[in-house]
């Protein structure tokens, strides 16, 4: 006596079309994953309870409306083409089917990220396609939070040192290719330790956030403002038509930093020392440009603060 059970796929191959449909329906409805089964014309044949729950859409409505009930109106045609391409890919012999990520929509209009896998099945000789959905919204949210932690300063929400370095490296690659001249401005607030010591770190944080907003407000969208740590900021100006214009940018930064900041109904003012380096005169890589800009900032502090300096010895 054979005690081995016959696999569902083998049962479907041995069964008639009607029997295969019943077997497929049973397998789909028992599956924990949201599954929608459709034919080559993308007509929905089956939708299991997990998919009904994911999309807040009944089987009756899904079979009547088709895939349109799964997506925002503006994305329906694009998604229709995507699923048709995935079905076509599965039809051409992919053993594992087609995988991708799309935007789904629930009945209340809420959009969410959905991972889709399309697999071709045989059901009594007529090919059908099982579309397996996985809600990856939580994964995407976790990735977004991790990205914020890794790349952005938690106090000011500006790019941090690591992200600034990455953007500078990309800017240098473009500069080398298109003969551009990016510049780095290293900004350090003057005597900021006195503010923390006299007013407290909470007030200091208020001032840092205000300075960050002031600096960001006078820069172009294509420029990058970053907080490197403490009271240190950096600006990447990606394209300078004339290196003399960097001094004009620095003057704007000095002016906005000097604007009054309100802390507990009291106005305070700060100044900044700025060091500037430009590519390629002051360095051909990100680390050298940052290092030379910082060294120039230190000289600005040594020479009276609230001013801008360029590197004394240029690195080529």
Q: What CATH number does residue 293 fall under?
A: 3.30.70.270
Q: Which residues of 260-291 are buried (b: 16+ CB within 10 A; e: fewer)?
A: ebebeeeeeebebbbbbbbbbbbbeebebbbb
Q: Tell whether 68 is covered by a domain.
A: yes
The pLDDT, as a whole number, for residue 228 is 97
Q: Tell whether 315 is covered by a domain.
A: no
Q: Is 97 left (phi over 0), alpha (psi -120 to 50) or beta?
A: left
- Domain stop point among 89, 119, 140: 140
Asked if the peptide bond before residue 280 counts as cis, ω within 30 degrees of 0, the response is yes
Nearest one of 25, 26, 45, 29 to 37, comparing CA atoms? 45
- CA–CA dist 123, 10 (Å, integer): 11
Q: Tell whether 147 is covered by a domain.
A: no
Q: Tell whether 208 is covered by a domain.
A: yes
Q: Which residues are catalytic?
A: 231
Do 108 and 192 lie in one domain? The reply is no
- CA–CA dist 224, 166 (Å, integer): 11
Q: Tell whether 114 is covered by a domain.
A: yes
Instruction: Give per-residue pLDDT as tens, 32-86.
Output: 888 988 887 778 888 899 988 887 888 888 888 887 777 666 666 766 776 777 6
Do 292 and 169 lie in one domain? The reply is yes
Instruction: Give per-residue pLDDT as tens, 246-302.
Output: 999 999 999 999 999 999 889 999 999 999 999 999 999 999 999 999 999 999 999
Q: What are phi and psi of 55, to 5 degrees?
A: -95, 0
Q: Tell whether 2 is covered by a domain.
A: no
- Domain stop point among 117, 140, 163: 140
Instruction: Give per-residue pLDDT as tens, 102-155.
Output: 666 665 666 777 787 888 776 556 677 888 888 888 888 888 888 888 999 999
- CA–CA dist 114, 77 (Å, integer): 17
Beta bridge partners of 186: 234, 275
Do 291 and 166 lie in one domain? The reply is yes
Nearest one of 196, 192, 202, 197 to 264, comparing CA atoms? 202
Domain with 91, as residue range(s), is 8-140
Count of CB atoms situated within 10 Å of the CB of 24 = 23
The pLDDT, as a whole number, for residue 11 is 46
Instruction: Give per-residue pLDDT as tens, 189-199.
Output: 999 999 999 99
Do 194 and 71 lie in one domain? The reply is no
Do 179 and 268 lie in one domain? The reply is yes
- Domain stop point among 111, 140, 169: 140
Do 167 and 276 lie in one domain? The reply is yes
Average pLDDT value for residue range 12-24: 57
Cα–Cα distance list, 122 to 17, 25, 113, 277 (Å): 10, 13, 29, 66
Count of domains forming the chain: 2
Do 121 and 175 lie in one domain? The reply is no
Q: Which residue do the tokens 């929400």 mark?
A: 157
Nearest one of 23, 24, 25, 38 to 88, comparing CA atoms? 38
- CA–CA dist 50, 285 (Å, integer): 53
- CA–CA dist 62, 40 (Å, integer): 16
Considering the chain, what percentage of its residues have pLDDT values greater than 90?
47
Q: Tell whether 316 is covered by a domain.
A: no
Do 112 and 179 lie in one domain? The reply is no
Do 116 and 205 lie in one domain? The reply is no
Do 302 and 175 lie in one domain? The reply is yes
The pLDDT, as a whole number, for residue 251 is 95
CB 192 within 8 A of CB 258: no
- CA–CA dist 301, 303 (Å, integer): 5
Beta bridge partners of 122: 127
Do 51 and 122 lie in one domain? The reply is yes
Do 130 and 156 lie in one domain? The reply is no
Average pLDDT value for residue range 204-221: 95
- CA–CA dist 277, 292 (Å, integer): 6
Q: What CATH number does residue 116 fall under?
A: 3.30.450.20
Q: Tell whether 230 is covered by a domain.
A: yes
The pLDDT, as a whole number, for residue 77 is 73
């Amino acid at each position: 006596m054979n005690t081995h059970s016959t696999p569902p796929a083998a049962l479907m191959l041995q069964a008639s079309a009607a029997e295969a449909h019943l077997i497929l329906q049973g397998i789909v409805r028992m599956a924990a994953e949201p599954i929608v089964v459709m034919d080559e014309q993308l007509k929905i044949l089956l939708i299991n309870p997990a998919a009904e729950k994911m999309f807040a859409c009944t089987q009756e409505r899904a079979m009547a409306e088709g895939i349109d009930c799964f997506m925002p109106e503006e994305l329906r045609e694009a998604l229709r083409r995507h699923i048709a391409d995935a079905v076509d890919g599965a039809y051409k012999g992919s053993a594992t089917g087609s995988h991708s990520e799309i935007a789904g929509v629930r009945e209340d209009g809420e959009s969410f990220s959905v991972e889709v896998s399309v697999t071709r099945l045989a059901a009594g000789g007529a090919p059908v396609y099982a579309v397996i959905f996985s809600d990856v919204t939580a994964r995407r949210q976790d990735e977004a939070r991790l990205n914020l932690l890794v790349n952005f300063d938690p106090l000011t929400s500006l790019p941090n040192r690591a992200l600034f370095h990455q953007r500078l490296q990309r800017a240098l690659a473009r500069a080398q290719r298109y003969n551009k001249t990016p510049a780095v401005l290293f900004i350090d607030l003057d005597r900021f330790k006195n503010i923390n010591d006299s007013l407290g770190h909470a007030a200091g944080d208020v001032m840092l956030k205000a300075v960050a907003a002031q600096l960001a407000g006078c820069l172009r969208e294509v420029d990058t403002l970053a907080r490197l740590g403490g009271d240190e900021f950096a600006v990447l100006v990606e394209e300078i038509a004339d290196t003399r214009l960097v001094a004009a940018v620095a003057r704007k930064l000095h002016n906005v930093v000097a604007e009054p900041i309100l802390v507990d109904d009291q106005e305070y003012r700060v100044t900044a020392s700025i060091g500037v380096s430009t590519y390629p005169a002051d360095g051909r890589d990100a680390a050298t440009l940052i290092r030379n800009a910082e060294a120039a900032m230190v000289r600005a502090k040594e020479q009276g603060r609230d001013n801008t300096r360029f590197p004394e010895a240029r690195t080529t």
